[in-house]
Structure 1
Amino acid sequence: MDRDQFYIKPERVQLKRLLTNEGGIGEVWLGTLHEESGQHDVAEERLMFTRETAVLFMAALRCHNVCKGKMCIVMKLYRESMLSRMRRYPGGKLPLAEVQRYGLEICKAVAELHDQNIISQDLKPPNFLIGKLAELTLSSPEPAPSDDLDHCVVADFGISRVIEKTIGVHMPSNVQGTFNYMSPESFDPELFGGVTFKADSWSFACSLIEMLSGVKPWDGIKMAPIVRKVLNKEIPQIPPGLPSPLENLIRVRRMIAVFLNEIL
């Protein structure tokens, strides 16, 4: 794989305005990427430095003979998030057909991450982005395929982790994730032997519940009661009237694999 295809010279990106500075990832700006093929709207995420990069950040501030600058990720500017799509519908409830279609695409994305030994740890509707298929390829040497449907991708890997194949678990030193979507082992890794891929299955199931009901899992409940319920392996309320296969899938901890096998 050519590393240069992932590198964009700073002068090719023109920043327009700040989109958001919420969360722990850093600022996200709307920008324009100038390429030979034309101009493209992009989202530029200015990363907050952590772990090893924190050393470089400190050195760049205090030392004269150390490289300086900001570390940024330039991404395709997607039309909307899953959460904003849900708000188009009465009560924030997506039609079942859209939940199944988007759910399958999310499953495929998470399965690909798991194949690379990556645990997302933060699957939720605000982190699912939607756009046309032709819009989903940026700076690709191949022509982008196109159709008339919107497609969904998984985003935001600020707390994602690569785990060792031989170990198969992640043992965080602190609680990581969004409480409404977190699994039992995410709240207490030591008790459950570490965080595994099943944590993503739990978060995905919670996301499906929200997409179907329009209500965030454990909505209106404070953090401490959520922790107690989840550690007792209680699950959020599942919307009534779902097809039995889909309801059964939501209750399965190996949901990613089962969903793919059932739907494909």
Structure 2
Amino acid sequence: MRVPCCSVCHSRYDEEERAPLLLHCGHGFCKACLSRMFSASADTSICCPRCRHPTVVGNSVQALRKNFPILSLLASSPSSPSFDYDFTDDDEGDGGGGDGEEDNEDDYFGSSGRCRRSGFSSHPSVSGCCSASGSRAASTSAIDLGSHHDLKLLRRLGEGRRVGYEVWSALLSKGSSFSSGQNGRTCRHQVAVKRVAITEDMDVVWLQSRLESLRQTSMWCRNVCTFHGAKRMDGYLCLVMDKFNSSIQSEMQQNKGRLTLEQILRYGADIARGVAELHAAGIVCMNLKPSNLLLDASCRAVVSDYGLPAILKRPTCRKARSVPEDCPSSLHSCMDCTMLSPHYTAPEAWEPLKKSLNIFWDDAIGISPESDAWSFGCTLVEMCTGSVPWAGLSAEEIYRAVVKARKLPPQYASIVGVGIPRELWKMIGDCLQFKPSKRPTFHAMLAIFLRHLQEVPRSPPASPDK
């Protein structure tokens, strides 16, 4: 028999801090999780993590109705350490294979189109010994891969643009000798895994050192998907990170391809904040696009897939690794080796670094933080119009338009007339400047988003009867 647990924090219900409470939509969660959501809310309502239906709470979540059937079940249930807790959120029943209808190649978390809004979490699903004491969940702590030895792949979510790249939903736990933690709870974490096949020309030691450096560098950044490290398993390198079940792309698909102005500004501010902190840590994202911009339980956007294209690029494209990192030749990155999506790739990322006798020529400086501004501009074009930039064109046609003709995405002209503030429209155009030095910083873009968010009136929560 499985004891019901909160689908947000995956902790067992009790009669005190984890008491099961019901929202107006009928979905239930523990009091601790609802209290955190309520404290983060800007008004007196809570949006259901499953269906996003708003519930007017008042002054405290204490006013919500308790789920008495679950309390009755708890009263009749044993609390021994051997009792089985349901932490898997039905992922194990999905099997380990794909369903023949794979998602976007870089969408780590199964969030493209077929996103399941129920049960997505803002942090790793933590239970047992890794849970924080009391009502505090381990929302900011990383998972120690050194002590969590067992990685069980549950369901394939998609394939990469390159052969041997797969994305899986997985369950990470400690070995049998460490299986029980505080109060006898099983320590298990729902995670997403990007699995990369190890080939003969790979320098695995070099890869693991770069990935560990990425983990340490990004661990304090906000509004980013936490990267927990890499494990070598069965001829694959498994990159472990937080699991989310929704993204900006899936949100657009559910709204017929469009977002409201408030959503554009709110998500834009979250993304700008996350990328600005990554840049401050010396990390270039390289792969900003709607499917890699995920949504947590509070519907805040987080950045994923940051820094990985530069590390996982084709080994045949890497130059001699004996060259110092500050030498221009070590910055080599091109479309062939990074496998970036052409619809969001900056002009300077299409070709390897070029040298010029003119030291003032900055049109080919290689991939840099300014390259992320171009990708973000293309992403904002899609968020405003619902159309993918350069839709209908092949990679070669996009290359000629972006690099040779220096054109803007044709969808950019469609932003005018859809209620977008002129300053935001101009900012997007600045992001799409051909010269990287003319593009705005993410700190400057964050200020613009926050300034216009203050001018957007918040709509009152809908009645539960509607």
Checking the alignment, whether the CA contact within 8 Å between 2:148 and 2:172 is kept in structure 1 is no
Q: What value does the CA root-mean-square deviation take over the aligned residues?
A: 3.2
Kindly indicate which of the two structures has a greater share of residues assigned to helix: 1
Is 1:22 matched with 2:160?
yes
Q: Is the 8 A contact 2:335 2:349 kept in 1?
A: no
What's the CA shift for 1:113?
A: 1.6
Equivalent position SS for 1:209: helix
Alignment of 1:89-168 (within 5 A): 89-90=255-256, 92-132=257-297, 149-157=298-306, 158-160=308-310
Change (3 A) 1:225 1:78: same
Aligned to 1:246: 424
Corresponding residue SS for 1:17: strand
Change (3 A) 1:248 1:184: same
SS at the partner of 1:23?
Answer: coil
What residue ranges of structure 2 are gaps of 5+ in the alignment?
1-140, 175-180, 209-231, 312-323, 355-362, 431-438, 451-466
Partner residue in 2 for 1:171: 332
| Contact 1:249 1:255 (8 Å CA) reproduced | no
Contact 1:130 1:150 in 2 (8 A): yes
The share of aligned pairs that are identical, in percent, is 29
| Per-residue Cα deviation, 1:8-67 (whole angstroms, up to 9, x for no partner) | 5232x333222223333722222233474654422222234474218999xxxxxxxxx9
Alpha-carbon distance in 2 for matches of 1:263, 1:3: 30
**Separation in 1 of the partners of 2:326 and 2:373?**
18
* Structure 2 SS opposite 1:119: coil
User: 1: CA distance between counterparts of 2:295 and 2:147?
Assistant: 24
Higher normalized contact order (CA 8 Å, seq sep 6+, divided by chain length): 1
1:262 maps to: 448
Q: TM-score by structure 1 length? A: 0.76
The 2-side partners of 1:131 and 1:205 are apart by 22
- Give the aligned residue type for 2:291: P
Aligned to 1:31: 170
More strand by share: 1
Matched residues in 2 for 1:230 and 1:83: separation?
23
The 1:165/1:243 distance shift into structure 2, 3 A limit, reads farther
Report how far residue 173 of structure 1 moved. 5.4
Q: Deviations 1:113-153 (Å, cap 9, x if unpaired)?
A: 21122212111111111121xxxxxxxxxxxxxxxx31111
Per the TM alignment, residue 229 of structure 1 is displaced from its structure 2 partner at its CA by 1.6
Could you say which structure has the larger radius of gyration?
A: 2
Helix, strand or coil at the partner of 2:309: coil
Equivalence for 2:216: none
